[in-house]
Structure 1
Amino acid sequence: MPTYQEGIFIEDANNFNVSEYKLVENDIAKIKKSISSILNEKSDNVYVVISFGKELWSMLSDLELDNFKDFATLQGKNGHQMPSTQNDLYFRVLGKDQSLVLDQTIRIEEALKGTFEVVLSENGFVYKDYRDLTGFVDGSANPKEEKKYPAALIPENENGGNGSFVFHQKWVHDLEKFNQLPVSVQEKIIGRTKQESIELEGDDMPENSHVSRTDAKHDGVAMKIWRRSFPYGSAVERGLFFIAYTCDPFRVDIQLDRMLGNTEDGVSDRIMEFSTAVSGGYSFAPSVEELNKALKV
């Protein structure tokens, strides 16, 4: 049975880094050597999830994956946009010790230097009791316990079994604008109460709330994904780095279309009045066995 990458489901980490790389050297042997060296030097108590853009994965593996694609820029009907910054290689590093997470992040960059160029790297953390910087609990709708595995992983009997499609998207918040609103209005935008994180019901739940737009179904099936987002922030910029693991990219696509108003109802997510997507890319996190096979020289 193929083994999923362990870091996908680690839930007690509180320090994170996501780094995205562009390929600058097409020598397959060098590519495999540089990535393999990272896998051989992982630190204790630090987890690394590695995923590949479609083009790089096709260079390394003959495994064909249904529905695997690059992310394309999305234009919303109501003036919003989600840009594509599709990259080739993605690393998510997580752990409980900020020093160890940083050390591993640096080791990765040094091992890839000359073969890949880092184009985005963001550090994050757990904010208070797992809240976004808006003050609302993040990830409340995540599937619980055993339900997270079928949401995140390709079925074992399919190509790429126990691998996962990954979506990365960086959001920049306008917290000053958001925080000027009364809490009652903020709750209508999110779709949950701020303090207790209780989902609004009935007429209290606006159709343009974030919960309403991302709680998607298709042919009666809930489009659940496994969210592993984290907040980031400094005096310069604050926001959320959205990460989704899914058995099928369509589950992410339908949520993004609903946020943008690109569905029949034409309703867009009000959260985009206060937060702007500045990156976006799909990748594939293969099982441990497929990863080792792809990197074999």
Structure 2
Amino acid sequence: MKSLRNIMILITLALGISLLVVFVTTGEAINSDDRIVLRFGHGAAETNERHIAVKHFKELVEKRSNGKIEVHIYPNEQLGSEAEMIESVTLNDLQMVASSAFSQYDQQISIIELPYLFDSYEEAWNVLDGPIGKEIAEPLLEDNLRILAYFENGFRHVTANKPVEKPEDFRGLKIRTPEFPLSLSTFNSLGANPTPMAFGELYMALQQGTVDAQENPVANIYASKFQEVQDYLNFTKHQYMALPAAINEEFWQSLSAEHKQIVEESSRDAAQYHRELIVEKEEKMIEELQEDGMQMVRPETDPFKEMTKVVYESFRKQFGDALLDKVLNEVQDS
């Protein structure tokens, strides 16, 4: 009986060890003496430059850490919408995310999305990489979100099945936008009918006529093949959006000083790589969209700027005079 009991104890211990091994080897974001697993989610397709840039981040981190940090990438909203992925990062269920949806936690970061704020990529980058970029990100630390770098999302343009050459062309246009207050306010000021929905649902919505139009940077339009369901690419350039890359603050604080430096520097290097990639490839993408039958419309943007000035006044109280004036002065000096 004693030997039988010993055998049963050994079997129980073996099963327990097996379950532990399964848990550790299948679980994500496991820290051990040998490795740190960092899960990184984003909402773009695997053909998108965003995914290419995040893969570059993975290569940099794994090389610089000599394999001590392992980066697992989850593109294409595999782990939920951008808003849901950000929430997962606040809880440390996901360690990093690249997204434009941080305004759900603090509106201050969305100040750079004011319509027609920037005329060029360089203006935007100068502001984001300076003191203002740090200031607008700081409140997110209260929600366990540390912004490490600003990846590129680009200038946004409107695709539709009709040309948009003047503000009047927006009247009654049912256009999909992200569920961001500034996006909704911008298109309301132009007389459109903004309709928020998840990006993953957009192609089907355009195909079925649930919405008439959408607005996105060229890279997203190209990667998502919107030329198959939209006839016109209208270069409204109505909004610039960065793509902040955030890491869970608790996870960040658990890293050694050396690993923090590796992750932060790799984030910045990958962000710059993403920016250069977008600028380099954008004209080629436009050419290919045109070859696929999409018609290009380049409207005079001053009338659109004039109509969206009301957005600045409605958000001035929210952002505060001091911050808004600081951003406007910084843009002017860029």
Between 1 and 2, higher relative CO (CA 8 Å, sep ≥ 6) is seen in 1
Identify whether the pair has TM-score above 0.5, normalized to the shorter chain: no
TM-score normalised according to structure 2 size: 0.22
- Flag the structure with higher strand content: 1
TM-score normalised according to structure 1 size: 0.24
Larger Rg: 2
- Flag the structure with higher helix content: 2
